[in-house]
Structure 1
Amino acid sequence: MRRLGRYEFSKALWERCKEYLSQHKTLRLFPLSFKEFLNLFKTKSEREKEVQELQKIIKEKIQLTDDEEVAYRFGLMIVETASKPYFSYRDFAAGSKNSLVAEKQEPKYFKAVIKAICEVYNVEGVAFLIDEFEEVAFPKRMTKKKIYEYLITLRRLIDISEEENLWIVLAMVPSAMDETKVMDTALWERLTHQQLETMLTLEPLNEDECINLLIWWFDRVREKNSQYKGTLFPFSDDFRKLLKRPEIRHPRPLIKIGFFTLSRAENKKIEPPISIKFIQKVIDELYPPKNEKKKSS
């Protein structure tokens, strides 16, 4: 939802509601824009009155939900977009201050969100990609309480996926898969109830694909007429020699290697092209070879 953008989402919802709004029914030479609509309400009482009107429209006219509280929160989201045109994590954490989700209403709220996305963007379904799920399986920054809340929310989303056209994709490293099985067997079984159909393994890229990915990544930030377009520069041409290990031949490790190599080369004032010896050192720090892992353990 943060990627979606609160202003865009609220505006799209408002577009669905506006034909029923009293302000929209007023005769105007030019149609009321969303920005103008938000500027109509100067006081708290005016905003509250409009939230209640939107609540009724959302529940009775466009029928995103049959729940009064959920409809009210949607109306609140639209009206308060003027002062907060972006989403934050706390907007979707039930119980937190100014949350858009009422306590114990998460399933109904998220179900309404899925339905709203489908309607306002004219799509048949929604796919949620939850990347780096190993952060849950191997927590470094998350407390036990946060993990517990996270998994409860995930279960609720799975419940919704059984009723709505919602697809949930969890991406994780293989070791996190094994840990998740132990951590929450019931959840894992729900995620993999059709083993062959629901589990996908990303095979390592071949060397040419790795090179092409890095070239694409470099080219995104090059100047339009750069002579280095389509090349590995500032990496040396023999970078291919470092691609023997399958575990680093995936998009995420490759981009991570690229980022940290450039960052450290800049800090150490290394002149390009950056040697494979320097890059190898970065790779070994980020992804220690398996034999070194055994020694350290």
Structure 2
Amino acid sequence: MDKHTSGNKATEMGVINALFLLSLTFSNGQISSNIGICYGQLGNNLLSPYQSIEFINSMKAGRVKIYDANPEVLKLLAGTGLHVSIMVPNNEISNIASNQTLANQWVRNNVVPHYPQTMIRFLLVGNEVLSYSSDQDRENWFNLVPAMRRIRASLKSLNIRNIKVGTPLAMDVLQSSFPPSNGMFRSDVSERVMVPLLHFLNVTKSFFFLDVYPYFPWSADPNHISLDYALSRGTRFTYTDPGSGLRYTNLLDQMLDSVIFAMTKLGTPMSSFR
């Protein structure tokens, strides 16, 4: 497993967040250590897409994730050499899951016009789908993996084989995360969603995308979690998991391991993907 982090670069633009992009890999491929940028377009006083892409290039970034398949942005990314992640919106998952024709249409409309000039490398189906829990959202939970299968089938039918299909999840997919050895997926998604998802990622040699923010557990309990520990800054404070005996020097590793332990409990240890 590769764990890559990068520092946030504060700018007055407040539009582009320089965040580390974490993925637990299910393949033997190497992941570049270049910084990855999450490029969102919701906010006030935003830079133009052209200015945003110029800024990303100036940061020597290697990867960029957008939260849709904006054609203007994808056109601007053509020829930049950036590895690009695009996203199927949450509200389109159910229809795609039930209709291969709609999946084919989405890929033809959003991938084919830009590929391979724009180096689309990841096609993410939804964003933190399992973090929402209305009745309609719950329907999306169980349509997630079927939609991923249909999108992958569309790519294969077009002989596009170097775009991996995945979905980003948040830490709230876990029912228990502390200590890490107690890591366990939520009971409402464990068997019906996580088992088929992990199987899909394993079979397709794709990646487990995870949005991890050490800030949240630190801000919820700053009296018991050292700021240096949350920021991966120094080794003065450490934590030893009483269940596994593993010793941690930062909160990020601790959070990631809780997910790995949760995978293991479902019969899918990271070692099985080597």
Larger RCO, structure (CA 8 Å, separation 6 or more):
2
Tell me the TM-score range normalised by the shorter chain.
0.3 to 0.5
Higher percent of residues as strand: 2
Higher percent of residues as helix: 1
Q: TM-score, normalised by structure 2?
A: 0.33
Q: TM-score, normalised by structure 1?
A: 0.31
